[in-house]
Structure 1
């Protein structure tokens, strides 16, 4: 176990760089998981982190202690309280974070199962919420196009609530990379669709394309969409939040595929 009390310590400087810069996280190939919930989810799904960092004041916290028993002691770092405040983005939370190697996704040669494609989604909260819904719906693959928020940013991870650890996430995907590999129909939501999602047969695998919050799905991707579906909105509002709309579509497929005992 390491005990860090100086701001000149190399490990503290590294933590601060990871906490404050997406560029540094990408460069180092590492991500930060802030809080006990994300830490527990990661250890349960993927095992040991690079390091587990806890503040002096919360080292003996009732929610921290059980997790620390699962961490190799050589990976444990106790950080002075005044230093921990400088690297944590959580106010009034429990002072614990993990440093992890950012999982590297893989692009299948042929995509024959359900997947989700994010096309230019810029809001990290939306990206995280969609990943959370996808994982909950049993989807295994998430492909993020250029312009999407970083899937492993602190805000995305927080919104995903551990979903990232159950998905094969591939970033910087282009149409040329993905389209030739899709062996399932590509569907998109549209306010001008001929059929409602609830009347669309979703019993077999599909790929969902989710567009930018303002502009929607790009024209280049829309040319490859096999079918557009609509979500009835009797309340009369103009549109749903993209994360909410995506969740409705994903779980309509779940509903249709349920078997009756």
Structure 2
């Protein structure tokens, strides 16, 4: 393992530039995974990073040491003070992976269960939706322009490794995608009359989820196969988009599981 101790080191300066600029990361085609859980998940589900960066203090942590022992890619240790300028996690464990951002080949048409995000802007919501999708067995996510950048540090942390079991497509024209879809597209709306529990979800379907305040745009609502609502009791007007997504995904999983059990 190489040790870097100077702020003027070219590799450290490049890391600091990447860590402080989402635009720089996108231009480089790379992402930064911050913390033990994300790095462990990447090793388990994807493989080796481009580079492993760890603070000198973190090397004494058994979890960190076990991960570093598995890394065959280049690795660099930094003094704790230098590492702190790279991480956005307060009081986190000082471990970073620099990785290539996946660029999966987009299918010609939507033919399997998927999530379509129409302007979901909050990184926590976007990450939580990805996490629920991965846990429910959904494998594709399509994001419109204006949706939170899925490979930003905040979305990565909220998704807790779900990125590594998903194919994520960003800056997608969702209208064109829906027009050519070969599976039903279900748009969630608080004003819909059809309940998700009354829709046959035992087959593949795509979920269209909208902006936190405005919901799914009217143009996309008009293209959807179904407009569906999650019925709820009480005076609360609606569910948070991430909570709504989780209910939808796992109702689909419940119906699919029940169908398999009866087969």
TM bucket normalised to smaller: over 0.9
Residue in 1 aligned with 2:201? 202
Q: Deviations over 1:174-232 (max 9, x none)?
A: 13542344111110112222221112211111111110111111122112111111111
Residue 104, structure 1, aligned to residue 103, structure 2: yes
Q: Distance in 1 between matches of 2:18 and 2:213?
A: 30
Is the contact made by 1:106 and 1:169 (CA closer than 8 Å) also made in structure 2?
no
Q: TM-score, normalised by structure 1?
A: 0.96
Residue in 2 aligned with 1:254? 253
Q: Which runs of 5+ in 1 are unaligned?
A: none
CA positional deviation for 1:15 = 1.4
Q: Deviations over 1:23-80 (max 9, x none)?
A: 11111111110000000001111100011110011113111111112101x5111011
Residue in 1 aligned with 2:78? 79
Q: TM-score, normalised by structure 2?
A: 0.95
- Structure 1 segments of 4 or more deviating over 6 A? none
Q: Distance in 2 between matches of 1:236 and 1:163?
A: 33
CA RMSD of aligned residues (A): 1.2
Q: Which runs of 5+ in 2 are unaligned?
A: none
Q: How many residues align?
A: 260
Deviates more, 1:237-246 or 1:5-14: 5-14
**1:1-261 alignment, distance < 5 Å:** 1-72=1-72, 74-175=73-174, 177-258=176-257, 259-260=260-261
- Give 3-state SS (helix, strand or coil) of 1:93's partner: coil
Q: Distance in 2 between matches of 1:105 and 1:217?
A: 26
Is the contact made by 2:178 and 2:224 (CA closer than 8 Å) also made in structure 1?
no
Deviates more, 1:61-70 or 1:34-43: 61-70
Q: Distance in 1 between matches of 2:25 and 2:178?
A: 29
CA positional deviation for 1:256 = 0.7
Q: Distance in 2 between matches of 1:82 and 1:181?
A: 52
